[in-house]
A and B are shown apart, each in its own frame.
Chain A
Amino acid sequence: MDLFVQQLVNAISLGGVYALLALGLAMVFSIMGLVNFAHGEIMTLGGYAMWFVTVQFGAPLPVVVAASVLTGLVAALLMERIAFRPVRGASVVTMLLTSFAVSVMLQVTFQNVISPRPKGVQLPPEMSRVIPVLGVEIGVIQLTAIVMVLVSLGLIMLFLRRTTLGISMRAAAQDFSVARLMGIHADAVVATAFAISGLLAGVAAFLWVAQRGSVDPGMGLTPIIKAFIASVMGGLGSLPGAVVGGFVLGFVEIMLQAWLPQAALPFKDAASLAIVIAILLWRPQGLLGRAADRV
């Protein structure tokens, strides 16, 4: 029972990180049709910001979180303005390739400007403690992750449901051209989508680096591929779908980690992705996606 609760906590904290990333991706995709490969590099930048403030200033934990989140925000906004504005309204393939190129160029820049090797990020020792909750030993990092994920998702939901801008975002996600005809400002909606995706990537970067203790130029790649596949599994373009997909992928990974025999553990990532592809065989439009147009 204890073991099960612990695995559940692991699954929620890992799935939560995927959900944050997938939600950011889905938000940008649903509004401008961009599958943003460079989302992972926003996360990497957040990680480098954490490294910078801890090594240079020995900053306290709240400052480290703020650094990661703000860097994600600024990086996402700059990326939209510089790289993606020229291809706005272009085909999905054009935007996809643009973001692919941006992603690779950023990775190479990190290698040259910072270092090709991982940089250690030292967080306060309290973060790696284990505390008893209701008779079960739970890591502080996992607990932080769950709280931060739930708070972020709650705030995003409030924003999308209660504010004018949030409601225009949902309208734009449904049908961008009609939303524009209703007087919704395209630039504002697109910038907000990138801002939110950047904030979420910053939170995800903090949680990811806090667990692993280091940041390297290619750090964003693996989580971003998983977040992509999570958003496809949830239904590409569906915001709740992205969150659900992220959590499902987290559960699948933790359950495989717990139950796969030792010899099969190297194949864990392959197995979880294969399960996702099998789910797509059953529901090609994703768990919460709308079926394709019928002829």
Chain B
Amino acid sequence: MRRLVTLDNPIRRALVGSGVLAVPLVVFAVVVALLLGPAEQQVAINFFISLIAVVGFGIYSGNSGIMTFGHVAFMGIAAYAGSLLTMSPAIKAQALPNLIPALRDVQVPFVPALVGALVVVAALAFAFGFPLSRLSAAATPIATLAMLMITYVVLVGAADITRGSQTFYGVPPITDLTVAVVFALLAIVVARLFRESVLGLRIRASREDELAARSMGVDVANLRLVAWILSALVVGVAGMLLGHNLTAFSPKQFYLTLQFALVAMLVVGGPTTVTGAAGGAFLIALLMESARRVEGLVSGLTLGPIRIEQFFGLQEIALGLVILAVMYRRREGLFGRLEVDEVLVRWWHGRPTVSRPPRDGDSGPSP
């Protein structure tokens, strides 16, 4: 009995942890599906897609401790590449008259198209990741920003394939709540398995102290490359699902606004754990939906002499304030540095569940 509770085996720990996390998610999905209308279901689908993206984003950023601003590029690439494979040739002939015939005539089901999209994502992730993983931890975020800009410029420029900055339309609506939930649970299992694996342990060690990890023989650059590619693949799945949920989109939707939301989700929940990524995705999705409704209420309102014609970007303001609050008050995120199963095990043994104090480099100036 005692052995089961300590969860010594990493694979078992990953699976049990994913299971514990899956329960509230599945309950939430069932409640939404049974009790709420199509508008709320759409919000829930968006939440599950964001959750996949954030969990994928955390595979790299959370485990390595390096913030990045380029992951939505993989979402965009996967959405376009995957959609080109699932769309019917007739629609492609109409929307993309200059498409090469081989690509125009092909049409495959969702899963093979997903595999195709992920092959493209993996190639791109390797091409960018190889130089990126050799940079210092401070230079990497900037380089990922350059990567996002490159992808955006190429998506807009390659008008024969993407319709450029115009809306890309006619994608089959395949992503429903069930599909989104299934892939969300898969993403959580993959992220937990990687985190508990030997590679995950090593890269987390390099996050805590890069020099010490390297002196123990950890090949930090190549580990970061592996985590980067895995992370890109999971984020690519989110992009594929988003494309097949929106059915019409443009490159702008895979740019800084979405990246900002993902960063907020990862940071607010706590980047070091999968629990934090999932919890942060939920809280931020809730916050953004509330902000969206308030925005609708406020626009056109008259307050004494001031008339608010239209209020822009309440979502961004709310996200910004939440990020600042977390950075000023609770840098490891609301869910701390322990996975939910680790918290439960400690609670079972009557040990304190408070995470350990922040690291040296993370503490403010001493009083």
Contact = CB atoms under 8 A, between A and B. Distances in A.
Nearest to A86: B328
Interface stretch (A4-12, A72-80, A132-140, A225-233): A225-233
Given A100-B263, A108-B317, A92 B138 contact: yes
Contact of A35 (B138, B320, B364): B138
Contact of B363 (A89, A97, A112, A273): A89
A35 B143 CA distance: 12
Interface residues of B, number: 52
A151 interface: no
A88 interface: yes
Nearest to B359: A91
Interface string B17-57: 00000000000000000000000000000000000000000
Given A35-B141, A91-B361, A284-B134, A270 B149 contact: yes
B311 A97 contact: no
B135 A101 contact: no
B143 A232 contact: yes
A232 B139 contact: yes
Interface stretch (B74-82, B151-159, B187-195): B151-159
B321 interface: yes
A137 B279 CA distance: 61
A198 interface: no
A116 B312 contact: yes
B124 interface: no
A102 B320 contact: yes
Nearest to A29: B138
Contact of A270 (B128, B142, B154, B312): B154
A281 B225 CA distance: 14
Interface in A240-295: 266-267, 269-270, 273-274, 276-278, 280-281, 284-286, 292-293, 295
B331 interface: yes
A278 B146 CA distance: 12
Contacts of B135: 232, 280, 284
B131 interface: yes
Most buried by A among B65, B131, B327: B327
A83 B327 CA distance: 11
Contacts of B316: 104-105, 107-108
Interface string B302-330: 00000000011100110111011001100
B338 interface: no
Contacts of B130: 281
A112 B312 contact: yes
B136 interface: yes
A157 interface: no
B147 to A, nearest CB: 8
A90 to B, nearest CB: 6
B293 interface: no
Contacts of A96: 67, 141
A88 B359 CA distance: 15
B249 to A, nearest CB: 19
Contacts of B311: 112
A295 B214 contact: yes
Nearest to A237: B138
Given A97-B263, A98-B327, A90 B320 contact: no
B362 interface: yes
B150 interface: yes
B131 A93 contact: no
Contacts of B138: 29, 33, 35, 92, 236-237
A87 B365 contact: no
B323 A100 contact: yes
A224 to B, nearest CB: 9
Interface in B325-355: 327-328, 331
17 contacts: A83-B324, A89-B363, A90-B364, A92-B137, A93-B67, A98-B324, A98-B327, A101-B321, A105-B316, A108-B312, A221-B256, A225-B149, A236-B139, A277-B132, A278-B131, A280-B131, A281-B130
Given A98-B328, A232-B135, 16 more contacts: A83-B324, A91-B362, A93-B65, A96-B67, A98-B323, A98-B324, A100-B323, A104-B316, A104-B319, A105-B321, A116-B312, A228-B145, A270-B150, A273-B146, A277-B132, A280-B131
Interface of A: 29, 33, 35, 83, 86-94, 96-98, 100-102, 104-105, 107-108, 111-112, 116, 221, 225, 228-229, 231-232, 236-237, 266-267, 269-270, 273-274, 276-278, 280-281, 284-286, 292-293, 295
The 4 closest A-B pairs by CB, nearest first: A266-B157, A108-B313, A105-B320, A281-B131
